[in-house]
Amino acid sequence: MGAICLIGMMGAGKTTVGKKLAKKLDLQFTDLDQEVERHTGVSVATVFEIEGELGFRQRETHALRQVIGRCNQIVATGGGVVLSPINRAILCGAGCVVYLQATPELIYSRTRHDTSRPLLQVADPLGRIRSLVSQRDPLYREVADIVIESGRPLGNTIEAIETALRLHSSR
């Protein structure tokens, strides 16, 4: 089995779902943001501060290339990974891409107290989230093999992904 890549907005649950799903399926779990941090030795927020979003996105592409070749793993990507056409092409060749779809309101409720998210350090974070969702949703859908609604209880989300993965692999 190739990699199972989880995509979606920040706060959609990619890391939480990815860890639980990897444990249940006995697969390795990789968080792409943590890979960037491991390679740079600093937080994602610090990379944004020093190199800007463009610098971070270049580092993200490098990390994605490094991890995507590994089989039998769950990869939680960063929310903006789909902004790069190169990353979208890499994801399309990865194995199976699962889009965890979340409403702007759910994302806001999950991220509103998190000061480590550079893109939300604005006067109107919910407005920013709505804008990001409208920009990114078509890109997530472009690369997704499976779309799962993220607002349900964790166990139900895991079950829905497992069912969808079985259906996807039987095609």
Ranges assigned E (strand) in 8-150:
28-31, 73-76, 95-101, 146-149
Q: What are phi and psi of 35, to 5 degrees?
A: -65, -40
Please check whether residue 2 is in contact with residue 27, taking contact to mean a CB–CB distance below 8 angstroms. no
Task: Kindly report, residue by residue over 103-161, the tens digit of the pLDDT.
Answer: 999 998 888 777 666 666 777 889 999 999 999 999 999 999 999 999 899 999 999 99
- CA nearest to 8, candidates 114, 161, 125, 124: 161
Domain count for the chain, please give it.
1
Provide the residue range defining the domain that includes 7: 3-165
Residue 19 lies in a domain: yes
Residue 69 lies in a domain: yes
Total-model pTM: 0.92
Residue 64 lies in a domain: yes
169 confidence band (pLDDT: 50, 70, 90): confident
Q: What is the pLDDT of residue 101?
A: 97
Q: What is the pLDDT of residue 45?
A: 83
Question: Does residue 4 sit in helix, strand or coil?
Answer: strand
Residue 133 lies in a domain: yes
Please check whether residue 77 is in contact with residue 64, taking contact to mean a CB–CB distance below 8 angstroms. yes
CATH number of the domain that 107 lies in?
A: 3.40.50.300
The whole-angstrom separation of Cα 65 and Cα 50 is 23
Residue 11 lies in a domain: yes
Rounded to a whole number of angstroms, the CA Rg of the chain reads 15
Residue 52 lies in a domain: yes
Residue 171 lies in a domain: no
Residue 170 lies in a domain: no
